[in-house]
A and B are shown apart, each in its own frame.
Chain A
Amino acid sequence: MSLLPRLTDRIVTLIVCLIVSSVVIFLPVSEAIKLVILLIFSLVYGFLFLRPEKKIELPVEPLPVTEEVLEPEVTETPEAKHFFNYEEIEKVGLSLKDHLKSIRERWNSKNHGSKSSAVSEGESRKLELVTLKASSDFISENIMRAFEISDNLANTAKTAFELSESVQKGVKIVTSALSQSLSQTAILFEQSKQISKIIEIMSEISEKIHILSINASIVSARAGTAGKGFEVVAKEIRILAKETEKSLEEIEQVIVDVQGTITAVVEKVDTASKQTNNEQNNLMSVAGALQGVILAVEIIRAVTSVANEKAVEQKGTMESWITESEVSDEGALEVLDGEDIPEFLQQIDQDLETLKALVTVNNPSKENS
């Protein structure tokens, strides 16, 4: 804008004011009315002629669009100041910025913060489920171990049972052999008794032979010389009878000794037989106890088998829970993400409307139209 037109305007204004003032001073009205007239004139004149130019002059050549060039023009030009209410626009802009910042924060919070809290909540649940699953796996493994141990125990008890059965059979054979020995020694004892009786008879015979030989000697002595030869025979028979008796006595002694030995053997065999009988009963108890262990282990195995089936079932359920939890977490996040966005968009819309109204109010071209 040149300096000359502005100076001309001022001179014209001064002249007009002087003329009007002179005319009003000389009007035949009161001083108050003159003042009111002058005031109205000044206002009308000012409105009609002293308004700023409606058209802002554009530079002949377009300026480079940079902040350095634009900013001084916009801020320093009074017309521009009038056209844009920067304070209001700045306030609205700041408000808009704040809202956008808030949206961004909320959005970030949803996507990272809340999302992460939702995720962390889901993760926490998942972690709990994973921990539960780990516990379930641990229990399952231990049940399997218990099952294997009980299996091993059952096999050991079964082996011990079979071994005890084998020992039981051996002891039974020994008991039977001892029993047979006992009966055989009894027979032997009876036979020794019979031998004793035979020896007793033989002893009696020997004694009778001895008496006969004495009688023969007496008869031969009565016969005189003719009986001498008979005397010799009788004497020999007497000696033989004595020796026989002596031998029989010795045999009888031996038989008594044998009988004593047999009695001792019988007693010992009897004791052994009784002992093996007891051992056989004990072995039967051992076998029974082992059978009981086998059965008890079988009961444990039945229980652990059921427990293991349950644990495997539980494991499957846990895995499906974990999968379901992952899916539901994603769904929850989707809902959370979109939850408050319309409200914020509405706020932005209101802010934009305000901005639009401000621009409209402050835009002279819009005002005229």
Chain B
Amino acid sequence: MSNKIGVAPIAQDKIKITVDDTPNGIAVRFVGDIDMEDPSIVLDPLFEKIHSSVVAQKIPEVGADFQNLNFLNSSGIKAVAKWIMKLAMLPADKKYSIKIIHNKAITWQVTSLPTLTFLVPGAVKIE
């Protein structure tokens, strides 16, 4: 557990998720495919833990690195959207920023991930 919020790495099915510390906060890295029938079983508790810990520790920035994620199904993106909407519900003084890092060579990422920035304008950025 080499991160400030104490989240252990996840390796399930074809996906590996790790949380690392960054100078501005933490980064959640996704590697592989999220194509299981119900990824919310894995993703919901992870995002809940990240959200509550980040708010509690007043961490300013969370990176979501999808560069090595080859496939993400609709249930997976729903879990991501749900996490970002939790950020939208927070009062202004408790809001943190989410930086989505995507792979421009993967079409689905280019098409879908920028939509996430509209959920909380200003707080969610993509690069």
Contacts and interface: CB of A to CB of B under 8 A. Distances in A.
Interface in B48-77: 71-72, 74, 77
Interface stretch (A109-117, A181-189, A299-307): A299-307
Contacts of B71: 291
B126 interface: no
Given A299-B115, A299-B116, A294 B74 contact: yes
A166 interface: no
Contacts of B42: none
A303 B111 contact: no
A293 B85 contact: no
Interface string A272-313: 000000000000111111011111101111110010000000
A302 B78 contact: yes
B contacts with A: majority SS: helix
B46 interface: no
A301 B116 CA distance: 12
B81 A303 contact: yes
A296 B119 CA distance: 11
A295 B107 CA distance: 12
B74 A289 contact: no
B107 A289 contact: yes
- For A294, A295, A296, which residue has the most chain B Cβ atoms within 10 angstroms? A295
A295 B115 contact: yes
11 contacts: A285-B107, A288-B107, A288-B108, A289-B108, A293-B111, A298-B78, A299-B112, A299-B115, A299-B119, A301-B78, A302-B78
Query: Lowest 4 A-B CB distances belong to which pairs?
Result: A292-B111, A288-B107, A295-B112, A292-B112
Interface of B: 71-72, 74, 77-78, 81-82, 85, 106-113, 115-116, 119
